[in-house]
Amino acid sequence: MNLNEMLIYADIQHINKIVDHYQCQCDRHSKTEMIQSIIYTLFQNNTLEEMIDQLTDIERTFVQLLYLDSRTKYTIEDLLAKGKQAIELQQSNEKPREIVLTALKKGWIFQGVGKKHLLIYLVPEDLKKKILQSLIRKLQKQVLVKEEIPFYRDEIDLLFSDLLTFLNTIRKEDIYLTNEGNIYKRQQYAIFQSFIIPEEPLKRQAFRFGYGRRYDEYPDRFSLLYDYAYYQKWIDEGEKGFLGLTTLGIQWVERSHQRMKESKKLYQFWVRLYKHPIPFLPLIVRFIDLMSYQQWVRLDHLQELTLFWLKDHYYEKKEQIFQERIIKMMLHLGLIQLGNDDGIPFLRVTEEGHHWINDFESFEAKEIVY
């Protein structure tokens, strides 16, 4: 629902609080006039820009948590959790409930009734769009943007192609497993060299965990590919020391595929798998989409804005998480293109990536934890 619809259904006390906050000039005895005054005030570009400029750090963080989320309705527990996140990110002493009350009086959210007559909070979709546009415009002034880049890398569909190659290899050859259930290094090397995007088997490392079931044994891209095949029950780590295709795996290999559909599923799996070590991953992906869809954005500038939502994870610094766990994997998944202009890296979201990001309820998607 849009703002005008929510105001029509809102109780008069809530409307009065919004009128007070924005100091609307209107007849307080006329609900219709108050609603018209609120809409006129909020949707004036200069008023909206001033409102964004006057936000406190905690309010700015909360509205980004609220509006970068794809959801349009929340429980009070959801909102209090976002308030707590904003407080932790800003290291503030405010109370989550106070932040939610501020959001109500600013008209960012409205009370409604959900299933079984439970109280829910609704987001006015047109106001959300306008505020996000204003926030992104301000942030884009902090990054270097280019319309065209002469050379760039695009891996759309390549992960899917290599997945198909991997499963066909299992079908045709004997793939031996160690006692720990891992593919022997020599066969790993042969498999990786058959891929469009090859990798090298891992050398011995002290620490490597947190991003999948076999992440400690396989390089990043193949680890995701392997875990996806295992999650789909296409492969079987047999008791006799061989990696085999299941009946489901054989059926999948033999049928004709809609490449974009399968590539989209791989993206969704990645979000669910990496969400646990990177809690704000859905928000970061959405932010990258808003900042760099249909334009090239300088990568280090984008990183500076994004690091706010990241924290070190055990042995990895947040800069490494941004580059290796987010940007590199988004490239492998076909969500982004990476370009280079005079030695400076730039990023752009692909058409397919834009649609996948906006078609997936990533904030509500259940984490996959091994």
Query: Domain ranges in the chain?
Result: 3-140, 143-370
pTM metric for this prediction: 0.95
pLDDT of residue 237: 94
Amino acid at 97: R
Please give the Cα distance from 292 to 298 (Å, whole number): 9
Tokens of 292: 């760099």
Beta-sheet strand order (sheet of 175-176): 175-176, 242-245, 235-237
pLDDT of residue 315: 85
Is the alpha carbon torsion for 242, 243, 246, 251 positive or negative?
Answer: negative
Measuring CA to CA, which residue among 167, 178, 180, 187 is closest to residue 232?
Answer: 167
Count other Cβ atoms within 10 Å, centred on residue 321.
23
Tokens of 144: 């270097």
Per-residue pLDDT of the chain (370 residues; tens, 9 = 90+): 999 999 999 999 999 999 999 999 999 999 999 999 999 999 987 888 888 999 999 999 999 999 999 999 999 999 999 999 999 999 999 999 999 999 999 999 999 988 878 899 999 999 999 999 999 999 999 999 999 998 999 999 999 999 999 999 999 999 999 999 999 999 999 999 999 999 999 987 667 888 999 999 999 999 999 999 999 999 999 878 999 999 999 999 988 677 788 999 999 999 999 999 999 999 999 999 999 999 999 999 999 999 999 999 888 999 999 999 999 999 999 999 999 999 999 999 999 999 999 999 999 999 999 8
pLDDT of residue 276: 94
pLDDT of residue 206: 63
Provide the 3-class DSSP secondary structure of residue 14. Answer: helix
Amino acid at 39: I
Domain topology for 3-140? Arc Repressor Mutant, subunit A (1.10.10)
